[in-house]
Amino acid sequence: MKVALAVRAVISLKALKKSKNVMGVNLGGKRGSGGMSDSNLSNEINKRRTFAIISHPDDAAGYAEFLEQRYPGQGAEIALHYPFDQYPTAGQAHADIRGDFIMKCPTLNMARTYSQNNDVWMYSLEQDVHSIVMGVAALGFKSNPPALGTFHSADVGYLFEFPLLSSLARAPDKRVRDLFQQAWGNFARTGNPNGEGVPGWAAFDMDRNNYLVISGDPENRDNFRNGHCDYWFEVGYGF
């Protein structure tokens, strides 16, 4: 049996009229400017930051205190796994923490589990998304915000060409769209995303924790999250 790793939900094939558009998966995000390139949007965001929800600290001491307040009893240990001095801002460090805890490490766990009896193809969407969603999300941060690159469900914008979720005006976005549509179509027809229009996508191997980076320049990589998930597996994802 062939299995594709879906983080959100499997889209019913019966609901699709075109075989090219088959399924959507969004594994995670990356650094990047997201939808912040428009100067007018940036100005409006700066005006409204007084109403923001999350304010990240400026220094290592504040970062440690922030983590302990949000994750009582685990803040110091989390700070060791995500050191303040390895990030440009505390917001970026916290984005990695939350991304790993909520999305990426559970996804890796799913891949490991399903691949014991099935073929799995895991990927990480790492294309910076220009979207109104990014502008709205940015309003939630007051100080030291994380860089916004992509977000959960951004794949739907590429797969179904939904403009509110992703911009398709740039050449790299169009390449991402084409890859999504072709790979998902291949999977629907053959049970394997590889084939015409798709670069070689290696099936998941537990010893490698390998995955395909989906971006304007896709590539296969090993060591997904570089061991960060070991901590979350150990604590059972709980706080």
User: 65-79: per-residue pLDDT in tens?
Assistant: 999 999 999 999 999
Whole-number pLDDT of residue 226: 94
CB atoms within 10 A of CB 30: 18
Contact indicator for 120, 204 with CB cutoff of 8 Å: yes
Q: Which has more confidence, 166 or 98?
A: 98
CA distances from 116 to 72, 112, 230 (A): 35, 7, 19
Cα 234 to chain centroid distance, Å, stands at 22
pLDDT digits (tens, 9 = 90+) for 81-137: 999 999 999 999 999 999 999 999 999 999 999 999 999 999 999 998 877 776 666
- Helices (H), ranges, the chain: 39-48, 60-70, 75-81, 90-99, 105-114, 132-138, 154-159, 171-190, 229-235
Q: Distance between CA 152 and CA 124 in Å, rounded?
A: 11
If DSSP codes are grouped into helix, strand and coil, which group holds residue 37? coil
Say whether domain 19-235 belongs to CATH 3.40.50.720: no
If DSSP codes are grouped into helix, strand and coil, which group holds residue 159? helix
